[in-house]
Structure 1
């Protein structure tokens, strides 16, 4: 429809009504100013000014919203949502709302109206030619905490702070004259934001606290905790609530627990561990079947629903493990003492007893409460050395040798079990960080992974599986651990890259878990194994908690939950409470524990499950940031040195190399590759030279030099020196 008549004396209201009528009649929600002028036949300067006033009037009435330059959208109040802002290091951001399946994009212009962490009201929309949703800031409801950590630099006689949290894409000018004298360039500080940045002015703030000048493991952890709002200390109220807790159990409590103190249960953990969640034991029977006991600490005995301790544990949701520093979900007296399955100490537990066939099939299982006494605290290394009959370790655990060797036979059974054999077994290289006395990285070295690690992993997966089956059978509401299959786009991208490398991931049908597992087994000894593994990992979704069971893709299981780590994971604690309810219900002692309706509402559990998924990602990001700061600080001392590495990611502007010695990643920028021009082959993941036969592709071994390091932005850049071509099973190489 084209408006054929134009009246010079039309009012703003008339223009408004005309425009709204046309947009609704033509089902038009998004329109540009140019289109409006064409529709209303506006040409003169006077008419354009009146239109400008009309659009301004409609914006004030919240009928139109300016979503980008000279582009408006018709407001639907249902699209106005509340949520949080998540900033990005490149200046743009995302709007997150619990009711939305995915985050909405916030442009750089929109991010000038808010900062990372703000709670805002935003208008969510999708442009006709776009696939993803966008958001426009309408109002900042709650401002982000004014305290930001960063590093101070002196520029033109002024002190500027560059935030360590890269989601704050701006600098802060220090305006506190009193603190300027004590602040020096290079200091790490906490700044209190006074004024936010505007279009023409820089953000300003005052120094709240000096943290130091040297990046240590402890300082990196403190910065990460501050950046991600992870609580560090327990309140005095929580401390008062737990002060009288002990391990002297009344008779009426012990009467509800099976006595398994004579059973030779043992804990097997890393050398640095203090919170022992689980203990295991097994027996082989004459008919070839196996009895396996997996005892998990009964944390729910101490952490009562809706107590202050419970609310704090829920808020933390998970323990956070930094190098040399742990922020526990529970106070130390609980996590490292009362709830921990310490050797020679009586402890309450929830036991999952499983009967396996000769081939590893699950014949039967049951859950019950038991009082146990761990017979030993072993490390993975010690158990592995016992299986290798190392004399010194065998002497140390002489009384338990028969039981510990029995665990090896169980490992062989579980490894070939039909229930577990289809799961994806990633063999990622794990590295350990060795710290100096000053808590700085002294060395990074490869962590040894033994069969004993795999035994515990298989036992825990088995216990989590049968627990999920039991809870589904009883129609219980718990946080299931879901890992959904990859989406079509991710699979297609992965298949294209693998095809470019000469590998195939079931190109005829949609790949399933077995296909992922099969390609990894085929390439186990191949030089590209780690590259392919990285590609497969990127193609998969993240595992999350949800009250609705959707199965676990990576483990190839129809149901799965977390039951085995209640000291460090809140979802496990919820599972324990439901299990205890079901156990006591069968004994007609329902009142001994809790009224089911008081806690186990489906919506309430799902809300907690969603929060636990968020808290898990938050903890992972915090630990990753802290480790990256430490790695940057460590590698900065090796500027100019040469190292061998592998190209693991290729992009238009260069390629990323992972150093073989330290598992540290850095960028070789395309501008540093000389005069030859390179073009990017996305399908084959290559940079190919236009004027020569030179190319760089995934899996190439290269020699690089450490060029530049920025701890603040966590960026490391390398200079390419030469390629490394291996011949005769890697015995010789040629530098090119």
Structure 2
């Protein structure tokens, strides 16, 4: 009705046209307010309703930048609008606004201004408490919030300078007003053990305390399977698999066991049974545990600490497939052909009894040494483990045939001292025992997607689309400089990627090329719209195998149970909204984990300032190059000003820096020696300078030269998530660089605050640095391989 009007429509008139009664009026106005918050409607100064698009307003979310400017990311997916420092004075990172394009900036980007603030995203912030000239301020840990928070004298909560605090915002920023807050929690000093995790939890708004209702419900969950639990599920019989020799295979430190497996030879093929914890039996739709699980979305794994999706009574207790106890499960029972193709499958609820808690190390030892001590210890299940391995080999051939992408990656494990800080970082090599479990999980997940499609039941799919045209163009351009081509022209398949990976396997720059291929791929998401999984080469794929630590899997379980009962599961939220929520929580967990790892690496490097190391150039940007140190698996920046007395120009096509006078070239994979010159715990950044190679004369010292500053972007991707996703890919694609990875015009007006002035002095460029293929592995990892 508003859309049909040629002028703004008063609220009273709209209410009259819709025959809204006095009793209905409060609900009507709340609905209008909600639509206004979402940007679907705009209420002008006279209280009349109008459509934002008719007044050329653009709804979207603000994305801040450490240098004080920002971007409006439109909801409709159109190009971002650059917001200058003056516009950013009104808002904080994450706020929802209506904006208006006012032209183009000096770099040709759309420039905008904020017309109206729809929703404030920040009510509390975590940051460092400071005293400057008698004024109390808090500097946010999230560097995308460049404004400093003023704290009135009576609102400091007795915080001391340098402490990490949580502030509640009592005054949001406006054009000429800085944000004001009160200290509501003092976390401690910056280098206190575990502080990096406390900061990450609050910086990324990770729910980490269960509600009283959820705790009360968890306390009532039984510790054992009862006879009543064995009754039919919505009329579907729960089968008894307690005599079947199912086993769990996980990492040494795992505590929550989602899945158990069993294989036996059947003719020329196999019977494969994948039993998954029946979390949906204990967590019902919209109860307290379900609500908290939906908010968390997934468990979050930090070094030496886990933030579980479910309380321990469920995650490590009644839901976990612990050995030698009865547990409820949902089963995918498959018939697999000799060539690794799934011929038939059947889902059903069951009760099981895990016969052994195996680890990857033990399984691999049993396979390599079938007469060794480990094999003798588990002789009852050894034949079934051997059948699992034979089945894995068939699955591997099927994967190669369908052209799934198989990236070779090196993972690392962080080892800690008694004070909770890194003692060393060591490489971890995955063996075929990891891949064996991965292939079993992939098979069950494919069947889960298939049953949803066959019964036309809505659900969440794990979708991984092919490369976007712009990323593909960048990749092809770089490959041309290396004398390589990617098949498939404008629409390459996973098989084209796999073929190129095989071609470059023996090249010295194979790791670099693999990283380039990885970065060209889209990020996997959860969505009710099935668009296939590009990396795995599957037309449909869903997550079914980790309901203890992933909410999408729990939703898929409910959908499958409804299908078995001849019903339809209808969640309280729309499937689209659930997909957005689950994708967001996954990215949030990755970002938080990456922050913690970056801090721990910096802490580890603190006492190495002045030391010289060898490494490889892992990324080249216009402002310098990132070097990955051998053995330490730590990266730092060699700023362009430290490369020598020359003008160095960045060649984006070749990803290299070339000296104008000397002709010296620095490119990816180059071997260099560097000296650690600065470690900044506050920003989690490490700076290097070049050191002379062995036997080469030392370069003269340049007085007064300060180490170049980094670009302010965390670049390493943990890639660690729960089991049963793109195992063929091996690890998650590095998260796409923020769309705000660029600086304003060179002569942008200086920031009004000290931090802004310091930041504007740094040289930050639009080109994001590449990530390396090495990702740290938490010492207490999820009981799962890396996924996409």
Query: Is the pair's TM-score, using the shorter chain for normalization, greater than 0.5?
Result: yes
Structure 1 residue 444: Cα displacement:
1.3
The structure with the greater share of residues assigned to helix is 1
Q: Which residue of 1 aligns with 2:614?
A: 644
Which secondary structure does the structure 2 equivalent of 1:243 belong to? Answer: helix
In structure 1, C-alpha distance between the alignment counterparts of 2:402 and 2:325, rounded to whole Å: 36
Contact map agreement 2:136 2:156 (CA 8 A) in 1: no
Structure 1 residue 263: Cα displacement:
1.1
Residues 52-95 of structure 1, C-alpha deviations (whole Å, 9 max, x = no match): xxxxxxx98999xxxxxxxxxx9744754655433232333344
Structure 1 residue 289: Cα displacement:
0.9
- Say whether residues 1:318 and 2:298 are aligned partners: yes
Given candidates 197, 201, 204, the residue that maps to 1:228 is 204
Which secondary structure does the structure 2 equivalent of 1:140 belong to? Answer: strand
In structure 1, C-alpha distance between the alignment counterparts of 2:52 and 2:359, rounded to whole Å: 62
In structure 2, C-alpha distance between the alignment counterparts of 1:459 and 1:724, rounded to whole Å: 50
Contact map agreement 1:482 1:551 (CA 8 A) in 2: yes
Describe the shift of the 1:138–1:475 C-alpha distance in structure 2 as closer, same or farther (beyond 3 A): same
Given candidates 519, 522, 540, the residue that maps to 1:541 is 522
In structure 1, C-alpha distance between the alignment counterparts of 2:102 and 2:336, rounded to whole Å: 54
Which secondary structure does the structure 2 equivalent of 1:283 belong to? Answer: strand
Q: Which residue of 2 aligns with 1:365?
A: 345
Residues 601-658 of structure 1, C-alpha deviations (whole Å, 9 max, x = no match): 8x81121111111111111111111111111222122111122221122111211112
Contact map agreement 2:221 2:313 (CA 8 A) in 1: no
Residues 280-305 of structure 1, C-alpha deviations (whole Å, 9 max, x = no match): 110112x3111111111111000111
Q: Which residue of 2 aligns with 1:120?
A: 97
Q: Which runs of 5+ in 1 are unaligned?
A: 1-58, 64-73, 591-595, 726-736
Contact map agreement 2:219 2:313 (CA 8 A) in 1: no
Residues 365-405 of structure 1, C-alpha deviations (whole Å, 9 max, x = no match): 11111111111111111111111218342233232222222
Contact map agreement 1:97 1:103 (CA 8 A) in 2: yes
Q: Which runs of 5+ in 2 are unaligned?
A: 1-43, 696-788
Q: Which residue of 1 aligns with 2:153?
A: 176
Question: Larger Rg: 1 or 2?
Answer: 1
Q: Which residue of 2 aligns with 1:189?
A: 165
Describe the shift of the 1:94–1:216 C-alpha distance in structure 2 as closer, same or farther (beyond 3 A): farther
Describe the shift of the 1:606–1:509 C-alpha distance in structure 2 as closer, same or farther (beyond 3 A): closer
Residues 585-606 of structure 1, C-alpha deviations (whole Å, 9 max, x = no match): 2xxxx5xxxxx26x158x8112
Contact map agreement 1:701 1:724 (CA 8 A) in 2: no
Structure 1 residue 364: Cα displacement:
1.3
Structure 1 residue 454: Cα displacement:
1.0
Residues 522-578 of structure 1, C-alpha deviations (whole Å, 9 max, x = no match): 222322122112111211111111111001111111111111111111111111011
Given candidates 498, 518, 522, the residue that maps to 1:517 is 498
Q: Which residue of 2 aligns with 1:90?
A: 67
- 1:392-403 aligned within 5 A: 392-403=373-384
Describe the shift of the 1:265–1:252 C-alpha distance in structure 2 as closer, same or farther (beyond 3 A): closer
Residues 176-206 of structure 1, C-alpha deviations (whole Å, 9 max, x = no match): 268597513x332223445556667765544
Aligned residues: 645
- Say whether residues 1:140 and 2:110 are aligned partners: no
Q: Name whichever of 538-547 and 102-111 sits farther off.
A: 102-111
In structure 2, C-alpha distance between the alignment counterparts of 1:159 and 1:304, rounded to whole Å: 47
Given candidates 611, 630, 633, the residue that maps to 1:660 is 630
Q: Which residue of 2 aligns with 1:355?
A: 335
Given candidates 109, 113, 128, the residue that maps to 2:86 is 109
- Say whether residues 1:413 and 2:394 are aligned partners: yes
In structure 1, C-alpha distance between the alignment counterparts of 2:377 and 2:225, rounded to whole Å: 30
Higher relative contact order (CA 8 A, sep 6+): 2
In structure 2, C-alpha distance between the alignment counterparts of 1:486 and 1:129, rounded to whole Å: 30
In structure 1, C-alpha distance between the alignment counterparts of 2:157 and 2:558, rounded to whole Å: 54
In structure 2, C-alpha distance between the alignment counterparts of 1:225 and 1:175, rounded to whole Å: 26
- 1:468-547 aligned within 5 A: 468-506=449-487, 508-547=489-528
Which secondary structure does the structure 1 equivalent of 2:220 belong to? Answer: coil
Q: Which residue of 2 aligns with 1:27?
A: none
In structure 1, C-alpha distance between the alignment counterparts of 2:103 and 2:118, rounded to whole Å: 23
RMSD of the alignment, in Å?
3.0
- Say whether residues 1:209 and 2:181 are aligned partners: no
Contact map agreement 1:152 1:162 (CA 8 A) in 2: yes
Structure 1 residue 208: Cα displacement:
3.2
Q: TM-score, normalised by structure 2?
A: 0.76
Q: Which residue of 2 aligns with 1:242?
A: 218
Q: TM-score, normalised by structure 1?
A: 0.81
Structure 1 residue 118: Cα displacement:
2.7
